[in-house]
Amino acid sequence: MSTPVATVPERDITTAALRGLRLRCPKCGEGRMFRAFLTVNNYCPVCHEALYHHRADDAPPYVVITIVGHIIVGGMLFVEKAYHPELWVHVVLWIPLTIVMSLAMLPNIKGTLIGIQWALRMHGFDPNSPEALESPRDAEAARGE
């Protein structure tokens, strides 16, 4: 005889992703997801949802590189074709803009990806998953923190 599995309510992926984009808990939308620039709280300070199960890893930087790269390269090509500026103008304009855009986007993209993982019950976000039983310390060790 098999052990009954508890049914769990559906999680809306759009709502969770938008809450993550706003750097909020994907469950309640109120608590702050991060305790530092890119350090995720182990638990939501409002609803106490476990957030340490996330495995965002290298995905946020790849997404940021893709978005920023398209914007910067498109901008560079437009400026070069339209105005033909000196090389130093490109350096002064595009390098700082690339750095600022990347740093500004990174937490929001990471929050969005964590919200998606939560909504899809990936990793330990599924209460029926063996990963749900791991402690925050085990999760941090698995991520290499």
Domain-wise residue ranges, the chain: 13-143
Report phi then psi at 40, rounded to 5. Answer: -80, 135
- 89-142, pLDDT tens digit by residue? 999 999 999 999 999 999 999 999 999 999 999 988 988 888 888 888 877 777
What pLDDT does 104 receive? Answer: 98
Q: Which residues contact 64 (CB under 8 A, 6 or more apart)?
A: 102, 105, 106, 109
Over its C-alpha atoms, the chain yields an Rg (Å, rounded) of: 20
What pLDDT does 127 receive? Answer: 85
Residue 142 Cα distances to 37, 109, 134, 138, angstroms: 20, 21, 10, 6
- 100-111, pLDDT tens digit by residue? 999 999 999 999
Which pTM does this prediction carry? Answer: 0.89
* Residue, of 8 and 72, whose pLDDT is higher: 72
What pLDDT does 113 receive? Answer: 98
How far apart CA 35 and CA 63 sit, in angstroms, is 22
- pLDDT-derived band at 6, boundaries 50, 70, 90: low
Contact at 8 Å (CB) between 6 and 128?
A: yes
